[in-house]
Chains A and B, each alone.
Chain A
Amino acid sequence: MAAEALEATTDTAGAPAPLKTPLHARHVALGARMVPFAGYDMPVQYPSGILTEHNWTREKAGLFDVSHMGQAFLVGPDHETTAKALEALIPADIVNLAPGKQRYSQLLNDEGGILDDLMVTRSADSDEDGALYLVVNAACKDADYPHIEARLPSNVKLIRAEHRGLIALQGPGAEAALAALAPEAAEMGFMTSRTMKIAGIKANVSRSGYTGEDGYEISAAATKIGEIWDTLLLDGNVKPIGLGARDSLRLEAGLCLYGHDIDTTTSPIEAGLNWSLQKRRREEGGFPGAARIQRELAEGTSRVRVGLLPEGRAPAREGTEIATPEGEVIGTVTSGGFGPTLNGPCAMGYVAKAHSAPGTKLNLIVRGKPLPAVVAPMPFVPHHYKR
């Protein structure tokens, strides 16, 4: 067999020693298979395996360690000042973000390409007015922080929250599991945030995630996050879930993975992330690459991100060429694999606009052979967010 598939646990020679999250020892004790990911030694799966973990998250509740992600605070004298400083870097409306609300956005370069995608949260607490909480990708954080800092006015500071851990509790059983420890969690709506005590530990909780399911992300001190993790795992409906299932869950949910489905060569409009640009920002501009993005909003783009469902059982992986039935190559798969809930393969990628309508028949060139597929709406598995 091809060796690379079996060598996921082997460290690249000469690479620096991987970083460890505050939960690293727990993953090892749980029997996880650890792999290098974005500079960290992370659990790709636990002994039950990716399929079981994926299905458990869809049916019960999965607990994910996402402490490798970058947590930071942007702190200024008042909300408007801090929000305007961030709005100079991203195309979302942050000035009008209400206390306790969260928004998804993208850090853009001057050409409107995506440097990273991130979550922005305004604290519900009035004595924290002027602070925004950011969560950025692990693989991008070392580039994001200097990028942000270099563009801030002198009265707004970026404070890296390196001594915090972050875990995600996802699935239909998430609400009951967290509300048993902190009843106020049940009252939260999707994309809201509040502070609460979980097992006696102060935590910042948002109702959001990366699986398409209802759930929470829980941030707490790195020294304390393990106690929350352990307490949640005492619930029989909660099991630890690795990065492998995290990827198959987000793929079925149609959610972009930075560095794959979006990067500096793609704009938010090509990626179909128009919903994350609020009306005021579309009209006023004032973010990097605004001229391009406003033009794309008015005129459309020459290529767009679409969902693809192969007709057979064979998955089409990242990098697979997408062709018309006549053989003309019109795009590339950016994420693809097997959807356990879908019980079949699914993929997403960019295609020329003329071939992007749902129902369009295309071929995916897998191992040199055309594999029939159809353009399909995303998500492939319906979202179950708490509205």
Chain B
Amino acid sequence: MAETRYSKDHEYIRVEGDVGTVGISDYAQSQLGDVVFVELPAVGKALSKGGEAAVVESVKAASEVYAPVSGEVVEVNAELEGAPGTVNEDPAGKGWFLKIKIKDAAELDALMNEAEYQNYVKTL
């Protein structure tokens, strides 16, 4: 069963086996406002935990999206190029950014689970 974990920087990773689907949380999209552009990495790129994975731009500003864990990019959501607003409409579903082959599953332990993340957001 897939489990979703969150970083303090508001990325989520939904883990299925050794592959995680990465996107930004509903809180993050609501704070960003209308997303107008998403820059995704090349498939095959090695990402390190906390390093830049993608860029998301709202009307107002550009923001970096960080890799919640280390690993290799195995797929990116090319649909976002033509429909970046999907990130606002369905951040946890069709608005995903990339899939990553997780290098070290132990890195997931440092991330928050759903309940922990919702409590964290309440403190912001």
Contact = CB atoms under 8 A, between A and B. Distances in A.
B73 interface: no
A313 B56 contact: no
A3 B9 contact: yes
- Interface of A (DSSP majority class): mixed
Interface stretch (B62-70, B102-110, B112-120): B62-70
B61 A5 contact: yes
Nearest to B63: A5
B36 A5 contact: no
A52 B34 CA distance: 9
A303 B20 CA distance: 50
A5 B32 CA distance: 7
The CB with the most chain B CB atoms within 10 A, among A8, A50, A338, is that of A338
Nearest to B32: A5
A68 B64 CA distance: 32
Contacts of A245: 59
The CB with the most chain A CB atoms within 10 A, among B11, B32, B60, is that of B60
Interface string A242-262: 001101100000000000000
B56 A1 contact: yes
A1 B36 CA distance: 16
Contacts of B31: 5-6, 8
Contacts of B39: 314, 367
B60 A50 contact: yes
Nearest to A52: B34
A45 interface: yes
Interface string A332-375: 00000110100001000000000000000000000100000000
A119 interface: no
B59 A340 contact: yes
B44 to A, nearest CB: 18
Interface string B25-37: 0001001111011
Contact of A313 (B34, B59, B81): B81
The CB with the most chain A CB atoms within 10 A, among B31, B32, B58, B59, is that of B59
Interface string B4-45: 000001110000000000001000100111101101000000
A345 B36 CA distance: 9
A6 B60 CA distance: 11
B10 A50 contact: no
Nearest to A314: B37
A1 B24 CA distance: 8
B58 A5 contact: yes
The CB with the most chain B CB atoms within 10 A, among A8, A52, A315, is that of A315
B9 A1 contact: yes
A317 B62 CA distance: 8
B75 interface: no
A1 B33 contact: no
A51 interface: yes
A338 B61 contact: no
Contact of B33 (A50, A337, A345, A367): A50
Contacts of A3: 9
B32 to A, nearest CB: 6
Contacts of A2: 9, 63-64, 66
A2 to B, nearest CB: 4
A244 B55 contact: no
A1 B60 contact: no
A49 interface: yes
Nearest to B9: A1
Contact of B36 (A4, A8, A52, A338): A338
Interface string A28-63: 000000000000000011000111101000000000
B88 to A, nearest CB: 8
A283 B33 CA distance: 49
B72 interface: no
A52 B32 CA distance: 15
Contacts of B9: 1-3
Interface string A87-131: 000000000000000000000000000000000000000000000
Interface of A: 1-6, 8, 44-45, 49-52, 54, 244-245, 247-248, 313-315, 317, 337-338, 340, 345, 367
16 contacts: A1-B9, A1-B66, A2-B64, A5-B62, A6-B28, A6-B31, A49-B33, A51-B34, A51-B59, A52-B34, A245-B59, A314-B39, A317-B61, A317-B62, A338-B37, A345-B37
Given A50-B58, A52-B34, A244-B33, 14 more contacts: A1-B9, A1-B11, A1-B24, A1-B66, A5-B61, A50-B34, A50-B60, A244-B59, A313-B36, A313-B37, A313-B84, A314-B37, A317-B62, A345-B37
9 closest A-B pairs (Cβ-Cβ)? Answer: A5-B63, A338-B36, A51-B34, A50-B59, A2-B64, A6-B31, A2-B63, A1-B9, A49-B34
